[in-house]
Amino acid sequence: MSAITKYFQLDELHTNYKTEILAGFTTFISMAYILFVNPSVLGAAGMDKGAVFTATALASAIGCILMGVLARYPIATAPALGINAFFAYSVVIGMKVPWQTALAGVFVASVIFLLITIFKLREMIIDAIPSDLKFAISSGIGLFIAFLGLNDGGLIVANKSTVVGLGSLSVGTTWLTIFGLIITAILMVRKVPGAIFVGMVLTSLLGIATGLIDLPSSLIASAPSLKPTFGVALMHVGDINTIQLAVVVLTFLLVTFFDTAGTLVGLAQQAGFMKDNKMPRVGKALMSDSTAMLAGSVLGTSPVGAYVESSAGIAVGGRSGITAVTTGVLFILGLFFSPLLTVVTTQVTAPALIIVGVLMAQSLKNINWTSLEIAIPSFLIVLGMPLTYSISDGIALGFIMYPITMIAAKRGKEVHPLMYVLFFVFIGFMWILNAQA
């Protein structure tokens, strides 16, 4: 045990095994909802929910354990909300790309992410895109997944006269969503550990009690088979052969990269790991994350990223990699609760999507709204994502406008050359989409 204590620097971090294990359990409870939300989201794209459940648990476990052992951080990983919605609703449903090809796109993006990490190119990419646009991307994704939640829960529906409108309040399932949203909001405001997960449990119980949701046949079962999704990404890499799909891969890469980098830095600041405004062992942290993303694509799930819910474990004293390893082990144990998927309906997951959207939208405060050359492209990104029902379209609108407004403000020299390259890439992307429409 002394060797483990020394490796994880428990004495230097002023922590112990009891605290670390408790922190790992707290983190798991805070993010366990992804085991049920991810299959629901990717299931909309036609993927087998059981296989996605297993892939989600295994990819999360791999990422958490790698983060704990290799990077020695109390940071957990799992398939990221937002980018999974982009995968399902924008790429598969919107662009009519087969989910098998979309999964291959995740694989290609993860390989590029891994190479970027190995060759230490991440700093160049981080520096190229202005922080305001990074915050806009995060906020826009928040609005997008919140809109998905409102729609899935029946609160916002299509309307011929006004495009969208308020859903019918005479439908019982809509009220189930409303209850879930209210109770989850109260739990979040009261800072109850695992508030989102607890909210889902209470909403499911109400649904069962009112007959809106059927009881599962059992609570525990063997893990669902990975056969429908395992290795599919590798078999369809050759399908990534158009500019449209190249932009999809680029979006997977950019969103995952900046979301992960931002989350890692934020959590490192909370835990007091930052030194001279730099995060020690950030390369190993990104290596752990990119490896988990690669494994996840092969197993059959959308991109894996660091989870802000790790802050719950850090808040109760988690400081070492043992916290993340504990969370990873709990994800493996979670494999045996797949029968609960039947009670986690869209009305149960909708409040979770809305609340997570609120949390992501907090980045809006970091955008420089007083400089129009920054505010306009940022606004187009934020508003463009939910209104076009596409994360990549929202990014394209902002990235096309950014060099234009900066040149108009006589600040063109401040624009990184890579942003001019992306300007032409997204112009081509828009032209291709218009030609195919």
pLDDT tens-digit series, residues 120-140: 776 677 667 888 998 898 888
Read off the pLDDT of each residue in 90-118 and give the average, rounded to a whole number.
93
- Of 217, 163, 179, 99, the C-alpha closest to 351 is 179
Read off the pLDDT of each residue in 338-355 and give the average, rounded to a whole number.
86
Beta bridge partners of 304: 79
Please give the structure tokens belonging to residue 252.
């997977």
Cβ count within 10 A of residue 96: 8
User: Does the structure show a pLDDT above 90 at 254?
Assistant: no
Beta bridge partners of 164: 158
Q: CA 420, 422, 425: angle at the middle one, nearest 5?
A: 120
Q: Which residues of 285-306 are buried (b: 16+ CB within 10 A; e: fewer)?
A: bbbbbbbbbbbbbbbbbbbbbb
Beta bridge partners of 306: 77
CA distance 300 to 340: 20
- Of 262, 266, 281, the C-alpha closest to 73 is 281
Identify the DSSP state of 76: -
CA distance 3 to 428: 55
Contacts of 220 (CB under 8 A, 6+ apart): 336, 337, 339
Query: For 101-105, 205-209, 343-347, which range has the lowest pLDDT when averaged over its residues?
Result: 343-347
User: Does the structure show a pLDDT above 60 at 101?
Assistant: yes
Query: For 102-111, 191-200, 380-389, which range has the lowest pLDDT when averaged over its residues?
Result: 191-200
Read off the pLDDT of each residue in 201-208 and give the average, rounded to a whole number.
94
CA distance 78 to 379: 29
CA distance 301 to 149: 20
The per-residue pLDDT for 147 is 92
Model pLDDT for residues 217-233, shown as the tens digit of each residue: 888 889 999 999 999 99
How far CA 278 is from CA of 307, 352, 388, 426, in Å, comes to: 19, 32, 37, 32
The per-residue pLDDT for 121 is 78
Tokens 């408790």 -> residue: 22
How many Å is the Cα radius of gyration of the chain?
A: 21
Tokens 């989350």 -> residue: 263
Is the distance from CB of 75 to CB of 285 less than 8 angstroms?
A: yes
Model pLDDT for residues 286-330, shown as the tens digit of each residue: 899 999 999 999 999 999 999 878 887 887 789 999 999 999 999
- Of 200, 223, 212, the C-alpha closest to 52 is 223
Alpha carbon of residue 271 to chain centroid:
21
Beta bridge partners of 250: none
Query: For 73-77, 96-100, 357-361, which range has the lowest pLDDT when averaged over its residues?
Result: 357-361
Give me the DSSP letters along 63-109: HHHHIIIII--S--EEEPTTHHHIIIIIIIIIS---HHHHHHHHHHH
Cβ count within 10 A of residue 322: 26
Beta bridge partners of 316: none
Taking the alpha carbons at both ends of the chain, their separation in whole angstroms is: 62
CA distance 39 to 45: 10
Helix (H) or strand (E) holding 135: helix 131-152
CA distance 385 to 388: 6
Model pLDDT for residues 2-31, shown as the tens digit of each residue: 889 999 999 999 999 999 998 998 889 888
CA distance 164 to 143: 15
The per-residue pLDDT for 433 is 61
Please give the structure tokens belonging to residue 22.
């408790």
Query: For 96-100, 113-117, 122-126, 323-327, which range has the lowest pLDDT when averaged over its residues?
Result: 122-126
Is the distance from CB of 406 to CB of 413 less than 8 angstroms?
A: no
Supply the mean pLDDT for the chain.
Answer: 89
The per-residue pLDDT for 238 is 92
Give me the DSSP letters along 388-426: HT-HHHHHHHHHHHHHHHHHHTT-GGGS-HHHHHHHHHH
Model pLDDT for residues 132-181, shown as the tens digit of each residue: 998 898 888 889 889 988 998 999 998 888 888 998 889 899 999 999 99
Determine the 3-state secondary structure of 229 from DSSP.
coil
